[in-house]
Amino acid sequence: MSYRPCGVYHQFYRQDHAWWQTKFVWGKMIFLGIFIFVLFPKFAGMYLISVANVVGYTILSAMGVQLLIGYCGQITLGHAAFLAMGAYTCTLLMLQLHIPYPIAMIFGGVVGGIWSVLFGLPSARVKGFYLIMTTMAAQFLTVEFFITQYVSQIGGRGVAFSIPPGTVKIGPWMIRNDLDVYYLMAILVVIFTFIMANLGRSKIGRAWIAIRDNDIAAETMGVNIVYYKLLAFFVAGFFGGIAGAFWVTSLAAVSPEHFHFGWSLWLVGVILIGGVGNIHGVIFGSLFMTLIPEGLKFFIFILTQNPFFVNIMPFLPLLLEKFLFVKEAAFGLAIVLFLIYEPNGLSYRWWQIKNYFNLWPFSY
């Protein structure tokens, strides 16, 4: 919790527990809402919208990772497996049984959750490094074996399931282009953030945080550790499944390559850079990890357009051509440097800045 500005006093507990405590914050949030739902889609071009969709997908996927790592302290390196389960369940239900998209999406979430609990079961016996190994095994067993070899055979469509245009619709609202995907993404992000924030401050969230901080003490205080750990795995898998089912809308075809091991690690990196144990962390991490590489790419592109810079640095066009690898290396370096120099992540910086202005000019 951050400090309140000078001169704001609370008289009721209700005020103390409110998310948005002052008129200024209300105004800020309403402006943010208008910006996301009205201004941004109206004025941003198609390129920015598609970048925003990637940011939103990263937020949705990283939310479950944040829950497991940041809140419950159970490191997961196989979250893409749960995304994949959600995406494939949703797609198969739509293509094979012609179930409407929203219901298929919720089924995808439930299957993702159950799958996650299945691989979370060892967490009742082991923790730390051994649990990391289990979740990693989940990634390989699910995506590389189960989905690639078995699930992809259903219906005889080949490895990639292409989704005919017009299949994905919510009631009368057909999701056809990036703009529709953007609106769906924005709604889902708001819902996810709302659920996550409120879970975090309820009994369940307190139990998770207790398990993260000291599991033995939590058990002595009467927290049912196994139950709450498995609940954390279920909710995280559910978030993952929904996120995967959402991403189906913007993919022309669902295939196992979208859910590889690198993406699992990427999600962990997102919350490490954003800040662990903090919802802001997910959002800042996703923004940083998507916008910085895009900006970098744009910068290199501009440099290559100018013959002067290309003469100085002849490797520039090659760099642009192999940008994917540059991005990967930069991402790895970013994780390492953040862990060494800013272990609390971007959200801690944000918290400091906010408090500085809230307390200004009397900082003591």
User: Would you tell me which residues interact with another protein (CB under 8 A)?
Assistant: 75, 77, 122-130, 132-134, 136-137, 140-141, 144-145, 148-150, 153, 215-216, 225, 262, 265, 268-269, 272, 322, 324-336, 339-340, 343
Instruction: Compute the least distance from the CB of residue 86 to another protein, in Å.
Output: 21
Residue 186 or 268 having the CB closest to another protein: 268
Residue 109 or 212 having the CB closest to another protein: 212
Instruction: Compute the least distance from the CB of residue 62 to another protein, in Å.
Output: 14
Instruction: Compute the least distance from the CB of residue 335 to another protein, in Å.
Output: 3
Residue with tokens 């809140």: 71
253 DSSP 8-state letter = E
The amino acid present at 48, given as its one-letter code, is: L
The amino acid present at 125, given as its one-letter code, is: R
Instruction: Compute the least distance from the CB of residue 77 to another protein, in Å.
Output: 8
- Which H or E run contains 169? strand 169-170
Residue 115 or 246 having the CB closest to another protein: 115
3-state secondary structure (DSSP) of residue 176: coil
- Find residue 34's DSSP bridge partners: none
Neighbours of 104 (CB within 10 A): 24
Sign of the torsion formed by the C-alpha atoms of 263, 84, 230 and 134:
negative
Residue 89 or 152 having the CB closest to another protein: 152
User: Dihedrals φ, ψ of 21, to 5°?
Assistant: -90, -25
Q: What are all long-range contacts of 216-223, with beta carbons under 8 Å and residues at least 24 apart?
A: none
CA distances from 360 to 6, 7, 357 (A): 8, 12, 5
CA distances from 255 to 14, 72, 103, 285 (A): 48, 31, 21, 26
Instruction: Compute the least distance from the CB of residue 331 to another protein, in Å.
Output: 5
Residue 160 or 334 having the CB closest to another protein: 334
Instruction: Compute the least distance from the CB of residue 235 to another protein, in Å.
Output: 19
Instruction: Compute the least distance from the CB of residue 292 to another protein, in Å.
Output: 14
Instruction: Compute the least distance from the CB of residue 364 to another protein, in Å.
Output: 31
Helix ranges (DSSP H) in the chain: 13-17, 23-34, 40-43, 46-65, 79-97, 101-120, 129-139, 178-200, 203-213, 215-220, 225-247, 261-274, 279-305, 307-312, 316-321, 323-341, 346-359
Residue 77 or 181 having the CB closest to another protein: 77
User: Dihedrals φ, ψ of 155, to 5°?
Assistant: 80, -5
Residue 153 or 305 having the CB closest to another protein: 153
Residue 69 or 95 having the CB closest to another protein: 69
Instruction: Compute the least distance from the CB of residue 131 to another protein, in Å.
Output: 8
Q: Which residues contact 65 (CB under 8 A, 6 or more apart)?
A: 76, 79, 236, 267, 268, 270, 271
Residue 134 or 250 having the CB closest to another protein: 134
